[in-house]
Amino acid sequence: MPIHRSSSPAAPSPADNSDAAMVALLTRPLPRDQFPVQPSQPDMVFQILSEELLLDGNSKQNLATFCQTWESPQVHQLMDLAIDKNLIDKDEYPQTAEIERRCVNLLADLWNAPGEAVGCSTVGSSEASMLGGMAAKWRWRARQQAAGKPTDRPNMVCGSVQICWKKFARYWDIELREIEMTSDRLCITPESVLEQVDENTIFVVPTLGVTYHGLYEDVAAISRALDDLQARTGLDVPIHVDAASGGFLAPFTSPDRTPWDFRLERVKSINASGHKFGMAPLGVGWVLWREPQDLPDDLVFHVSYLGGDMPTFQINFSRPAGQVIAQYYDFVRFGRAGYAAVHGSCHAIAQACAAEIAKLDGFSIIHDGNADRGIPAVVWTLTDDADRGFTLYDLADRLRMRGWQVPAYPFTGELAGTAFQRILVKRDFTREMADLLLADIHQAVAHFQEHPAAPRQPPAERASYNHL
């Protein structure tokens, strides 16, 4: 009988996907403060991080965000194809540049530009807002200089705006004349605007879908008032429309509403967020100017760094191209009819939710999701005629126990001490989910009736994220 000897097994290398390597990763925390020296198993790192991300909660239940939380499988595939494409490098990726150009053309048509509009993509509507603001400041400064007038005290007039405009005013040294809310005026009015404008006003910014309550401000009425002001005084104040949300809603769900876009000659620029109701992945916004002369030439850089001549106007430089490509895919896939159908269903679900919430004792609806009045959102407050044993902040916390993110927050001005609550209805918030949410709201209210909440500290002193 022959005698056989077994071979000596080789010791596993640190890079092997062995139990020992797995245990080492599972039994120690990932690096937090010091850069790691050795590599780790990619599959194990992926598993640990994917499980850690479960602590973020379910984005489908995030009714606070305006941003899109649903994407089609085709969009995921397009994003993969574009993951290594740098949008700024138009010489290396000319077809991507062509797709961006097509998007600008389609938006010019959607927003009724009278001729040759000019525009670009941005990281989001915040960057788009700032670009629109910069152009307005440059136009105002050139006009003042031509008239021999000082240029050191520019101002802008707006309502209760999203934080990006406050950033713009601070970063670019603009006086922000914010018209805050009153109990009987949630949106800016022509009268309130005329009280604020003067020769140093670079522009007025009405919002098509105010973040706080979702209502559309009356751009046409404000434009008429400024037309009358110019006829009486010669003062020509332009308008920039912040259509971060409404720019991808009103053309489809309320096409016959009073003009708010480039049909109004006084509207010189519009910004919108592609990753909100434009239904693109996170990271794309748009800004368009009515005519090329509305974007001052000295703000445009001609870059040859990556080959060729690339006129650019943006705060950011290198950035991924996938979101713009996906935006064009959405434009072609949905078309006007598809956007109208998707957003129309969102408005219908919002109105159904508003009707049910209005039945709750002490709940008062501010915006019911009506497409002619605002975005597909439901906003409510509690009447002050009775003590129900809870606040909307308590209700928000109770709903979070079921995974729902339904923010409670104050408005501005006279309403800064009053709590309001809001849900955003987007593509993936179905009627089934709406019924589940409404059932949880009913159960939460019933719970507080049996177990009143303890008095709470003021919202500003609580550790919570501001979803405005």
Q: What is the pLDDT of residue 456?
A: 67
Query: pLDDT tens across 456-465, in order?
Result: 665 544 444 4
The domain 75-330: what is its CATH number?
3.40.640.10
| Class at the top of the CATH hierarchy for domain 336-444 | alpha beta
pLDDT at 14 over 60: no
Query: pLDDT tens across 160-211, in order?
Result: 988 999 999 999 999 999 999 999 999 999 999 999 999 999 999 999 999 9
| Alpha-carbon span 15 to 326, nearest angstrom | 37
Nearest partner of 167 among 124, 138, 223, judged by Cα: 124
Q: What is the pLDDT of residue 89?
A: 83
Question: Average pLDDT, stretch 93-114?
Answer: 96
Q: For residue 299, what is the DSSP state?
A: G
Phi, psi at 198, each rounded to 5°: -155, -170
| Alpha-carbon span 202 to 232, nearest angstrom | 19
| Alpha-carbon span 390 to 450, nearest angstrom | 11
Query: pLDDT tens across 351-407, in order?
Result: 999 999 999 999 999 999 999 999 999 999 999 866 788 999 999 999 999 999 999
| Total Cβ atoms within 10 A of residue 370 | 17
**Using an 8 Å Cβ cutoff, are 296 and 142 in contact?**
yes
pLDDT at 10 over 80: no
Point out which residues pair with 303 in neighbouring strands: 310
> What tokens does 354 get?
């508003």
Question: Average pLDDT, stretch 130-156?
Answer: 97
Point out which residues pair with 320 in neighbouring strands: 86
**Using an 8 Å Cβ cutoff, are 164 and 124 in contact?**
no
Banded pLDDT at 88 (limits 50, 70, 90): confident
pLDDT at 12 over 70: no
The full set of domain ranges for the chain reads: 75-330, 336-444
**Using an 8 Å Cβ cutoff, are 377 and 249 in contact?**
no
Banded pLDDT at 467 (limits 50, 70, 90): very low
Nearest partner of 203 among 226, 181, 184, 220, judged by Cα: 226
